[in-house]
Amino acid sequence: MMKESVFCTSISCMDGRIQLPIINWLKENHDISFVDTITEPGIDKMFDNLDKIKEIKSKALISVNKHGSKLVIVSGHDDCAGNPVSKSEHIDQIKHAVSVIESWQLSIKIIGAWVNQNWELEIIE
Ligand SMILES: [Zn+2]
């Protein structure tokens, strides 16, 4: 039987080191077939900018409305050239990003994640 095509949405940095870890984690933990990816350098810092939020939201809505995305993951990562702040600042930014995305009322699961120095995902509760 052919596997159902389940989409999700990843909002992440453009950094090439984190893409496969995120995709692999999603496939292993959430039975995802395809990951729609929205990237900017250091995207976790952009959730205090209304214009950027609007842009990211419009992209996310394509994934949610056209592909039926079943979850959104927003992440930050270690050694980020686009957003060179401490891990604790990243974590605060990711928590804020999750709250902004929750305010869009997409009625799907929203996950915040930190991609650590070993390129492993740590889920932020
Ligand atoms: Zn980065």
The string of pLDDT tens digits covering residues 69-117 is: 999 999 999 999 999 999 999 999 999 999 999 999 999 999 999 999 9
pTM: 0.95
Question: How far does residue 67's CA lie from ligand 1's centre (Å)?
Answer: 26
User: How far from 2 is each of 5, 14, 26, 35, 52, CA to CA, in Å?
Assistant: 9, 31, 19, 18, 38
Distance 52 CA to ligand 1 centre (A): 16
Structure-token match 């990711």, residue found: 94
Q: How far is the CA of 61 from the centre of ligand 1 (A)?
A: 23
How close is the Cα of 105 to the center of ligand 1, in Å? 27
Q: Which amino acid is at 13?
A: C
Distances 82 to 43, 70, 78, 97, 98 between C-alpha atoms, Å: 8, 28, 11, 16, 19
Q: Cα(32)–Cα(24) distance, rounded to whole angstroms?
A: 9
Give the per-residue pLDDT at 2.
55
Is residue 1 over pLDDT 80? Answer: no
Please report, for residues 28, 43, 55, 75, the alpha-carbon distance to residue 40 in angstroms, rounded to integers and kept in the order given: 25, 5, 11, 11
The three-point CA angle 58-59-62 to 5° equals: 90
Ligand 1 centroid distance, CA of 4 (Å): 32
| pLDDT value at residue 107 | 95
